[in-house]
């Protein structure tokens, strides 16, 4: 009888142990499932929060752009007209002055500064009221070569050696050629201005993942990490004569073409701006 009792007790204990183990396993699986759901919910909340912040930022940006648009329209009329008169008067005065006369240099400076103010006004207009791209098939490398030809003298003046590696690219993009030229020009000028005492600007073009990528790598001083997120913000500039709109305009043009603009930089190691545009699909 004692043997039977031991067997019964052994079986009961085994059954209870198995029952407890199974219950513990179910609880563990339940906890793991709950943890996964919580983690997924948290990730979704983070995503929604980021989306809300992004929308709020876009709304604030839209408000600023609306105000800027109204300001720019008035500014273009109120500033450009007198600037035109000043420039015309300066040219008339300059025509009557011998180039060797010190006053000739004063008129030259006056005309130069009037032109600079006109560019500032144009930057405001370009940023506040960007035109809708008129889509056409564009060869980005051909446009880039034209931009490099336009900036050749400035590069020579600054002592910057410019090289372009784009032989392997034959893809085209859908966009507005003049706007893309403006975007490329802004990036080249930005690089040249970062190297006023000389350096190198290496531009590489390639096709990858359905994109045409242009990389503008300069040997300038680099951009501090805490400023890299700000350089595409309107009116942010580290240069005394800059308007802070060049890169902001470039980013808006690229975004309007369905592309992206990124920067990689390190202090003392120069900066690389990556401009990517969707390549056209040819049947």
* 3-state SS, one letter per residue, for the chain: CHHHHHHHHHHHHHHHHHHHHHHHHHHHHHHHHHHHHHHHHHHHHHHHHHHHHHHHHHHHHHHHHHHHHHHHHHHHHHHHHHHHHHHHHHHHHHHCCCCCCHHHHHHHHHHHHHHHHHHHHHHHHHHHCCCCCCCEEECHHHHHHHHHHHCHHHHHHHCEEEEEECCCCCCCEEECHHHHHHHHHHHHHHHHHCCCCCEEEEEEEEEECCEEEEEEEECCCCCCHHHHCCCCCCCCCCCCCCCCCHHHHHHHHHHHCCCEEEEEECCCCCEEEEEEEEECCCC
- Percent of the chain past pLDDT 70, that is, above it, reads 84
Cα–Cα distances (Å) from 94 to 83, 90, 233, in that order, read 16, 6, 40
Q: How confident is the model at residue 147 (pLDDT cuts 50, 70, 90)?
A: very high
Q: Would the pLDDT of 212 be above 80? A: yes
CATH (residue range 1-129): 1.10.287.130
Same fold, 1-129 and 136-278: no
Instruction: Write down the pLDDT at residue 132.
Output: 66
Phi, psi torsion values for 24, nearest 5 degrees: -65, -40
Instruction: Write down the pLDDT at residue 61.
Output: 63
Instruction: Write down the pLDDT at residue 150.
Output: 87
Q: Is the pTM of this model over 0.85?
A: no
Position with higher pLDDT, 255 vs 49: 255
Reported as half-sphere exposure (CB side, CA atoms, 13 A), residue 261 has a value of 24
Instruction: Write down the pLDDT at residue 214.
Output: 94
pLDDT in tens, 82-140: 888 888 888 898 888 888 888 888 888 888 888 878 877 777 776 666 666 678 899 99
What's the CA gap between 115 and 119, in Å, rounded? 6
Q: Would the pLDDT of 283 be above 60? A: no
Question: Count of CB atoms within 10 A of residue 235's CB?
Answer: 13
Q: Give me the mean pLDDT over the 195-202 stretch.
A: 92
Domain boundaries along the sequence of the chain: 1-129, 136-278
The tokens of 21 are what?
């183990």
pLDDT in tens, 58-91: 666 656 665 666 666 666 667 777 888 888 888 8
CATH (residue range 136-278): 3.30.565.10
β-partners of residue 164 are 203
Q: How confident is the model at residue 146 (pLDDT cuts 50, 70, 90)?
A: very high
């Amino acid at each position: 009888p004692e043997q039977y009792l031991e067997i019964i007790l052994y079986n009961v204990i085994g059954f209870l142990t198995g029952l407890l183990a199974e219950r513990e396993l179910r609880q563990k699986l339940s906890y793991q499932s709950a943890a996964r759901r919580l983690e997924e919910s948290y990730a979704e909340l983070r995503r929604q929060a980021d989306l809300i912040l992004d929308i709020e930022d876009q709304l604030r940006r839209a408000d600023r752009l609306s105000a800027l648009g109204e300001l720019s329209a008035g500014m273009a009329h109120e500033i450009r007209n007198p600037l035109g008169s000043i420039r015309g008067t300066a040219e008339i005065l300059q025509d009557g002055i011998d180039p060797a006369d010190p006053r000739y240099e004063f008129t030259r400076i006056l005309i130069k500064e009037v032109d600079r103010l006109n560019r500032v006004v144009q930057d405001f207009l370009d940023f506040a009221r960007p035109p809708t791209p008129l889509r056409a098939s564009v060869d980005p490398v051909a446009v880039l070569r034209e931009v490099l030809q336009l900036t050749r003298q400035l590069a020579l003046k600054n002592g910057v050696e410019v090289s372009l590696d784009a032989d392997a690219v034959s893809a085209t993009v859908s966009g507005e050629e003049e706007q893309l030229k403006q975007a490329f020009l802004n990036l080249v000028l930005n690089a040249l201005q970062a190297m006023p005492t000389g350096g190198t600007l290496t531009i590489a073009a390639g096709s990858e993942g359905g994109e045409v990528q242009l990389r503008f790598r300069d040997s300038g001083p680099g951009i501090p990490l805490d400023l890299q997120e700000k350089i595409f913000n309107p009116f942010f500039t580290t240069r005394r004569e800059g308007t802070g709109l060049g890169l902001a305009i470039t980013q808006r043009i690229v975004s309007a073409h369905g592309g992206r603009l990124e920067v990689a930089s390190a202090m003392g190691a120069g900066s690389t701006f990556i401009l990517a545009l969707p390549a056209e699909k040819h049947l």
